[in-house]
Copies of this chain bind each other. A is one copy, B any other.
Amino acid sequence: MNTLRIEYEYQKNWLTKYTKKVNGLVLEIFDSVCILLAKAEQKHFQFTKKMLDERGLGITPGQMIILYTLYKQDGESITELGKRCFLDNSTLTGLIDRLERLQLLSRVAVPGDRRAYSIYLTDAGRAIREQVTEVMESVAQTMLAGCSDDEIAIFEKVLRNIFDKL
């Protein structure tokens, strides 16, 4: 008896609705929506890193988000920037260090407050805007290929709900 039997069992509880079973045993961890969310984002992060690399942009996914936030509005303090991209100051220090080293942004002293800096995009930072957004567009298209507009709308709604509820 060395058969491989694969079933999908309907779940009534908090587990994802259809659970994969191999020879009667659930081995796959995606029966938890928590793990499914974490692993989808893990793949998404790695894929974005690869795309940025292939495009030769020389930036990482985290740096991309900072740039995207600055494209909406730059010249704010590190704390204000952190509020818009939902990152702690201690995380931003390193990210801004690396982006400054790449000469994509610069810390500018704030007149009247010697503790603070304003973060401004440089010309080089502004110059890669189209390429950065193109990568994000491309990643979104790839990962959502095969999903209908309605499904995508619901997906976004649930993500937004998760962000707001937690």
Contacts and interface: CB of A to CB of B under 8 A. Distances in A.
B140 A42 contact: no
Nearest to A35: B65
Contacts of A43: 162-163, 166
Interface string A138-157: 01111111110001111111
A106 B92 CA distance: 37
- Main DSSP-derived SS at the A contact region: helix
A36 B68 contact: no
How many copies are assembled?
2
Interface in A18-65: 25-30, 32-48, 61, 65
Interface in A116-166: 136-137, 139-147, 151-163, 165-166
A72 B152 contact: no
A42 B137 CA distance: 21
A155 B154 CA distance: 7
Given A34-B140, A145-B161, 15 more contacts: A14-B136, A17-B156, A25-B73, A32-B136, A34-B139, A35-B136, A37-B41, A38-B45, A38-B65, A39-B163, A40-B160, A42-B86, A147-B157, A154-B154, A155-B158
